[in-house]
Structure 1
Amino acid sequence: MASKKAIIKKIQIVLTKHFDSPQAAFNFFDKNGDGKLSKAEIVKLLKEAEISGFIRGLVGSTLISGYDKDGDGEINWKEFKKAIAEMAKDID
């Protein structure tokens, strides 16, 4: 199983290589345009990051449980920004 650091690095690569900003990445993966990332939308981001299918669901659930501060089961833009900032700290 990939380490936390390896997963975070893969996510960062997708966000920095393919998008001009975290906001652009968020908007791209927010397929229904509701201003939130559902677990399915997060799993698509993880697939883009080449996280194996076996652990995408686990990582998606972990991201939601760790960063969903308003308890709605999704990640809004504010929560996404916080997650990106914390991931950047974890990789340094």
Structure 2
Amino acid sequence: MTAEESILNKIQILITNHFETPKKAFNFFDEDHDQKLTKSEIVKLLKEAEISGFIRGVVSSKLIEGYDKNADELIDWEEFKLAISKIKKSDS
């Protein structure tokens, strides 16, 4: 399992074990309720997913870089769904 797959797996476990749906997970971490996840909100998600503190900042930047399709440096619900779909594909 690659590092990316390991991180995505931990995120999937967090979402599956603590939230009824991915949308509820997204809303929980969207602290300012603007329907977008900021880097700091993503870092909190990664902390809850038990991603090492040492790499959270790097991973959050890479997640934004990889899934931020409209280049606003935020992850909106549609972009989050794309990330979730990749998690589900890597789990199959």
Q: What TM-score does the superposition give when structure 2 sets the normalisation length?
A: 0.94
For the aligned residue pairs, the C-alpha RMSD in angstroms reads: 1.1
- The SS at the match of 1:33 is coil
Amino acid at match of 1:5: E
Question: Which residue of structure 1 lines up, in the alignment, with residue 89 of structure 2?
Answer: 89
Q: Is contact 1:8–1:91 with CA below 8 Å preserved after alignment?
A: no
Question: Which residue of structure 2 lines up, in the alignment, with residue 36 of structure 1?
Answer: 36
- 1:6 paired with 2:9, answer no
How far is 1:90 from its partner?
Answer: 2.0
Question: Which residue of structure 2 lines up, in the alignment, with residue 68 of structure 1?
Answer: 68
Count of aligned positions: 91
Amino acid at match of 2:87: M
- The SS at the match of 1:90 is helix
Q: Structure 1: where are the runs of 5+ without partners?
A: none
1:10-60 residue CA offsets vs partner (Å, 9 max, x unmatched): 110000000000000000000000000000000000000000001111110
The list of structure 1 runs, each at least 4 consecutive aligned residues, that deviate by more than 2 angstroms after superposition, is: none
Question: Which residue of structure 1 lines up, in the alignment, with residue 22 of structure 2?
Answer: 22
Amino acid at match of 2:75: I
